[in-house]
Structure 1
Amino acid sequence: MAYLRKVKNGWRAEVERAGIRKTATRATKAEAQAWAVAEEAAILAGARGDYPQRTLAEAVERYRKEVTDKKPASTARADNLRFDAWLRDFPELANKVFHQITGDDLAKWRDARLQQVTGASVLRQAQQFRPIWTLAIKQWKWAGSSPWKEITLPAPSYARRRVSRWMEIRRILRSAGVSLRVAPTTAMQETGWALMISLHTAMRSGEILKLSRSTADLRRKVYELPHHKTEATVGARRVPLTSRAVRLLRVLEAQAAQEGRDRYFTITDASRDALYRKLRDRTMVEGLRFHDLRATSLTLLSKRVDVMTLARISGHVNINELFNTYYRESAEDIAARI
């Protein structure tokens, strides 16, 4: 966008696109406006920029190698799936020269996605894609400014309020063939056990599946977790385990020792996700995500411990996120206690 203003000797036009800023003074407003239009077109065409002719697809691949692939496996997998879908479903955008991508291009992507998914999903994807421009501008020198500044993204949605009910959990466990006194022998049963561990520890799926004889000290009721989602912020975590969780984990530990393996679980996070969805759908439990079990657990634990202890259990460094997102006790439940 060009900015025109009256000055002493005529009209001054200012143009800033792709990180390049140009100014000029012309005798009349019309001449200044014509200059601005021509200059802006030249910048967008690359005539004034000394940036490499790399495409968005190339930028994504470089970002994967430098950033995404260094994240925990479960997080990297989810990010890469979104990148794959972005490049596959929007080939024109993927093949466009990176520094020539404009706010209009991104607005078309936004509008197309809003016809298929919720605003919250679009916002989440945008938050993943925008850092590519930050790195490309500051380190790679592939562009001068980010076109994300030129578009309006959907407003953040309200946090989820769904929690699990014991009737739903029993149905899922029964469908999976789980007996909590007998170690799991199938992938479906392991999924049911992961569900129960989540309810009694408030841990994430990836953290649960990493449980092992070498990291879980059941005598001290502590799980040493060196790699996790917030590792870069808080370092290694030591997760306190509830007595109920320890009783469940003893069954898994005995099985792992008998079979000569270190890890308690043999399934991957991707398998757990697919099997949980299958169990949920065939038992007709509507809208319950596996991650909702973490919120359910934290809501139950909030009745037993103070907020600082709860944050230590969950690994949150932002108390507001813990309160606004994961504490899901209903107004009716609170009213019944006061």
Structure 2
Amino acid sequence: MASIRKLNKGWRAEVARLGVRTSKVFPTKAQASAWAAQVEAEILAGKRRGGSGVTVAQAIDRYLKEIVPHRRGGPFEKRRLLALLRLCPWLAQMPVADVRSEHMARWRDERRAAVSAASVARESSDLRTLWKHCRTWGWMDVDPFHELPVPANSHARDRRTDWRELRRLLRGLGYVTGQPPRTLQQEVAWMYLLAHHTAMRAGELHSLSTRTVDLQRRVIRLEEHKTVERVGVRHVPFTRKAARLLAVLDAAAREQGREAYFTVSPQSRDALFRKVRDRLLIRDLHFHDARADALTRLSRRVDVMTLARISGHRDLRLLLNTYYRESAEEIAARL
């Protein structure tokens, strides 16, 4: 059955027939009525299929099995979607075909009351991708996020790590100067220290190996990274200090007959870092802050275009507003 409703900016046609629910907004009532009639005819002819009662929980289950394993950052996306099932049972139990913008508005407001705007934006991105695949699978015809404002990210972080804090963290993780890591916790210490010196992302550090690191040329070849689809393979130069650190890891890997410098998984790296950080009562420090520290220091030695080449940024605004964290006092001291 079709219904036509007047909106501030046009007319919404809604069709609910044989398990199929869909809607669309048009400038005129005549266009809305014509579209609704066409959709009803397609449903009766079997050209449009409903979600057959598939719930959001079932859609997430299929998405986790078929899509997430092939996505970068999949383990973290999986953790967020499983949390959604636990924290929003009312949404998880809904048929996918019934999800509308008002339900996403309720979800958004509930999450905004519990977590930061940045977290809501990140979780919204997960759901947008899920709904996209649901439409591909024929379970959903409309985007529930259409014309729904999502909270903008909060102000960029300005967290920096001083040398005392860095030393406490490395010691807490078991780091010993000059000695290669022997435990997963020590691997996390080495990864954080390298991020502090190379400005590499955590995911990129996991790809370090005897094959990708050229100690003679002081260049790392990144075949898999966050922006590989846009910029292709990246070649990251590194400092002499970083070269000394990488030489220790390279020698240890070759001695043990393996390519990879690190064996710790992304999930374990994240969990171990948080555990030690919290035990040391170090407040509001993220692993990713080491990248910003490195880029802020490197900005004093190279021009902005070279810095963008090192970091892999195509948008200089993101580099300036997110990763360049020099304080006004530090700038004043150099004037």
TM-score with structure 2 length normalisation? 0.84
User: Counterpart of 1:89 in structure 2: which amino acid?
Assistant: L
Given the alignment, which residue of 143, 147, 151 partners 1:146?
A: 143
Asked if the contact 1:123–1:156 (Cα under 8 Å) also holds between the matched residues in 2, the reply is yes
Is 1:333 matched with 2:330?
Answer: yes
**Cα 1:272/1:133, change in 2 over 3 Å:** closer
Q: How far, CA to CA, are the matches of 1:203 and 1:21 in structure 2?
A: 45
Q: How far, CA to CA, are the matches of 1:90 and 1:281 in structure 2?
A: 28
Given the alignment, which residue of 269, 294, 298 partners 2:266?
A: 269
Asked if the contact 2:196–2:290 (Cα under 8 Å) also holds between the matched residues in 1, the reply is yes
1:8 matched to which residue of 2? none
Q: How far, CA to CA, are the matches of 2:50 and 2:307 in structure 1?
A: 49
CA RMSD of aligned residues (A): 2.7
Q: How far, CA to CA, are the matches of 2:7 and 2:211 in structure 1?
A: 68
Q: How far, CA to CA, are the matches of 2:96 and 2:50 in structure 1?
A: 9
Asked if the contact 2:195–2:201 (Cα under 8 Å) also holds between the matched residues in 1, the reply is yes
1:9 matched to which residue of 2? none
How does 1:47-196 map onto structure 2 within 5 Å?
Answer: 50-53=49-52, 54-65=54-65, 67-72=67-72, 75-137=73-135, 139-149=136-146, 151-196=148-193
Q: How far, CA to CA, are the matches of 1:278 and 1:245 in structure 2?
A: 26
1:290 alignment partner, SS class: coil
User: Counterpart of 1:294 in structure 2: which amino acid?
Assistant: R
Asked if the contact 1:63–1:132 (Cα under 8 Å) also holds between the matched residues in 2, the reply is yes
**Cα 1:19/1:143, change in 2 over 3 Å:** farther
**Cα 1:253/1:145, change in 2 over 3 Å:** same
**Cα 1:21/1:220, change in 2 over 3 Å:** closer
2:18 matched to which residue of 1? none
Q: How far, CA to CA, are the matches of 2:90 and 2:23 in structure 1?
A: 23
**Cα 1:325/1:24, change in 2 over 3 Å:** closer
User: Counterpart of 1:102 in structure 2: which amino acid?
Assistant: R
**Cα 1:311/1:50, change in 2 over 3 Å:** same
Q: How far, CA to CA, are the matches of 1:285 and 1:4 in structure 2?
A: 51
User: Counterpart of 1:182 in structure 2: which amino acid?
Assistant: Q
Asked if the contact 1:180–1:248 (Cα under 8 Å) also holds between the matched residues in 2, the reply is no
TM-score with structure 1 length normalisation? 0.83
How does 1:13-32 map onto structure 2 within 5 Å?
Answer: 14-17=11-14, 18-20=22-24
Q: How far, CA to CA, are the matches of 1:221 and 1:15 in structure 2?
A: 60
Asked if the contact 1:19–1:143 (Cα under 8 Å) also holds between the matched residues in 2, the reply is no
Q: How far, CA to CA, are the matches of 1:305 and 1:69 in structure 2?
A: 38
Asked if the contact 2:161–2:290 (Cα under 8 Å) also holds between the matched residues in 1, the reply is yes
Structure 1 residue runs without a partner (length 5+):
6-12, 26-34
1:312 matched to which residue of 2? 309
Q: How far, CA to CA, are the matches of 1:194 and 1:93 in structure 2?
A: 38
User: Counterpart of 1:51 in structure 2: which amino acid?
Assistant: G
User: Counterpart of 1:295 in structure 2: which amino acid?
Assistant: A
User: Counterpart of 2:23 in structure 1: which amino acid?
Assistant: G
Asked if the contact 2:173–2:185 (Cα under 8 Å) also holds between the matched residues in 1, the reply is yes
How far is 1:150 from its partner?
5.2
User: Counterpart of 1:204 in structure 2: which amino acid?
Assistant: R
**Cα 1:91/1:176, change in 2 over 3 Å:** closer
User: Counterpart of 1:193 in structure 2: which amino acid?
Assistant: W
Deviations 1:71-93 (A, max 9, x none): 22xx1111111111112322231
2:17 matched to which residue of 1? none
1:230 matched to which residue of 2? 227
Given the alignment, which residue of 203, 211, 223 partners 2:200?
A: 203
Q: How far, CA to CA, are the matches of 1:122 and 1:68 in structure 2?
A: 19
**Cα 1:97/1:217, change in 2 over 3 Å:** same
1:228 alignment partner, SS class: coil
How far is 1:24 from its partner?
6.5
**Cα 1:258/1:154, change in 2 over 3 Å:** same
1:3 matched to which residue of 2? 6
Is 1:300 matched with 2:297?
Answer: yes
2:236 alignment partner, SS class: strand
Asked if the contact 2:219–2:236 (Cα under 8 Å) also holds between the matched residues in 1, the reply is yes
How far is 1:67 from its partner?
4.1
How far is 1:134 from its partner?
3.4
Q: How far, CA to CA, are the matches of 1:264 and 1:248 in structure 2?
A: 11
User: Counterpart of 2:91 in structure 1: which amino acid?
Assistant: L
Q: How far, CA to CA, are the matches of 2:231 and 2:86 in structure 1?
A: 36
Structure 2 residue runs without a partner (length 5+):
15-21
**Cα 1:50/1:187, change in 2 over 3 Å:** closer
Q: How far, CA to CA, are the matches of 1:187 and 1:217 in structure 2?
A: 24
